């Protein structure tokens, strides 16, 4: 597998011709309107590759703490550096970073350009306590002036475009999504992605799509909408409701990457789900090695097989598997169960 290599001209032409251009990140065309959201623990290289093949228009790494990156120490098992590995087929590739120290954010972003990302994105949406209360992630939303200073420096000192992902604010009393989006635009951001909840909401309650529409009306740069997109119908609804240029899908893609092909889970035959499971498992083993690859695959497998005959038994059995051969045997049994079930339905 080729990693951290820029795409060839041929690969760029293929990417450009695949779908109409929905929007541009500065000069970079985004060919398609659906995008896998950066998600810690999920949007790793194996899952991103599957989502790209199924229609996701661009790639974001899992978010990486700038304080965890030690230049000159690119050890393959260093978790932070491993998150930044990518495949040339993922063009355009976005590195998402987070932190609280202005100088550290800017200095790290400058140096990361040497690894060849097409875009660098600053996470201002993570609600996790250890991140936000230290002033990183959504904690940055409490200091819009600081955001402006950081983006002014990034947009003038980076060769690549810089973008930002935000929430609506710290809480309902301090919503400032429009203000922050304008600050991003005024200080050189090329795109703003908006998760339509506050930090305090985390994933509770409904996403406020009206807020995304407010941002879209307030800025000229492209706006990516995010939050509560769980079905193909939701894609059409959020676009009609907000006018957003792109739709970012996170939890709705876990177990159903076919959503990027505009297919809901119940439209995908069991055999196709099982085939993709096998492929995902193989990619995990290749990328992480047997032990870690197997453990990290379990959470995806549980989602893939939801509603498939024999799923409950397999879900429990996966927890005790210790070798790839055991997992392959379980998947083979699941395939046989699905075939028998299909024959009884005809």
Q: Which domain holds residue 308?
A: 269-344
Report the domain count for the chain. 2
In a domain? residue 3: no
Q: Which is nearest to 55 in space by CA: 20, 3, 87, 23?
A: 20
End-to-end CA distance of the chain: 41
Residue 199 CA to residue 121 CA, distance in Å, equals 19
Mean pLDDT value of segment 145-156: 99
Q: Which of 211, 234, 263 is the last residue of a domain?
A: 263
Asked whether residue 157 is domain-assigned, the answer is yes
What's the predicted TM-score (pTM) here?
0.90
80-91: pLDDT as tens digits? 999 999 999 999
CB atoms within 10 A of CB 275: 13
Asked whether residue 81 falls in the same domain as residue 212, the answer is yes
Among 216, 242, 263, the domain-final residue is 263
168 found inside a domain: yes
Whole-number Å distance between alpha carbons of 341 and 304: 17
279-296 pLDDT, tens digit each = 999 999 999 999 999 999
Task: Please say if 126 is a catalytic residue.
Answer: yes
Residue 181 and residue 316 in one domain? no
CA distances from 335 to 272, 308, 320 (A): 10, 10, 19
What tens digit of pLDDT does each residue of 201-253 get? 999 999 999 999 999 999 999 999 999 999 999 999 999 999 999 999 999 99
- Residues 185, 134 share a domain: yes
| Per annotation, catalytic residue among 51, 126, 244, 321 | 126
For residues 38 and 96, membership in a common domain is answered with yes
Render pLDDT for 287-345 as a digit per residue (tens, 0 to 9). Answer: 999 999 999 999 999 898 887 777 788 788 888 888 999 999 888 888 887 777 666 66
CATH of the domain at 185: 3.20.20.70
Residue finishing a domain among 263, 282, 297: 263
In a shared domain, residues 278 and 173: no
């Amino acid at each position: 597998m080729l990693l951290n290599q820029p795409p060839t001209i041929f690969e760029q032409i293929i990417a450009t011709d695949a779908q109409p251009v929905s929007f541009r990140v500065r000069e970079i065309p985004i060919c398609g309107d659906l995008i896998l959201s950066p998600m810690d623990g999920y949007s790793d290289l194996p899952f991103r590759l599957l989502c790209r093949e199924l229609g996701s228009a661009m790639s974001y790494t899992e978010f990486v703490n700038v304080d965890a990156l030690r230049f000159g120490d690119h050890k393959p098992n260093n978790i932070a550096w491993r998150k930044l590995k990518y495949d040339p087929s993922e063009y355009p590739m976005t590195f998402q970073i987070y932190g609280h120290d202005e100088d550290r954010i800017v200095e790290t972003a400058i140096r990361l350009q040497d690894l060849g990302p097409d875009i660098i994105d600053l996470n201002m949406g993570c609600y996790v306590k250890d991140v936000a209360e230290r002033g990183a992630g959504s904690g940055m939303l409490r200091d819009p002036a600081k955001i402006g200073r950081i983006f002014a420096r990034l947009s003038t000192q980076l060769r690549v475009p810089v973008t930002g992902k935000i929430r609506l604010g710290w809480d309902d009393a301090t919503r400032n999504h429009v203000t922050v989006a304008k600050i991003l635009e005024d200080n050189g951001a090329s795109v703003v992605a908006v998760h339509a909840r506050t930090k305090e909401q985390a994933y509770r309650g409904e996403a406020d799509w009206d807020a995304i529409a407010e941002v879209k009306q307030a800025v000229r740069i492209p706006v990516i909408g995010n939050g509560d997109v769980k079905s193909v119908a939701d894609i059409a609804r959020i676009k009609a409701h907000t006018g957003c240029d792109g739709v970012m899908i996170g939890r709705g893609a876990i177990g159903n990457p076919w959503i990027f092909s505009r297919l809901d889970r119940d439209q995908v035959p069991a055999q196709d789900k099982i085939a993709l499971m096998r492929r995902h498992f193989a990619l995990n083993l290749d990328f992480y090695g047997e032990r870690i690859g197997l453990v990290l695959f379990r959470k995806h497998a549980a989602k893939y097989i939801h509603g498939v005959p024999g799923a409950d038994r397999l879900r429990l059995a996966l927890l005790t598997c210790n070798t790839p051969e055991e997992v392959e045997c379980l998947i083979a049994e699941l395939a046989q169960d699905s075939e028998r079930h299909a024959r009884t339905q005809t």
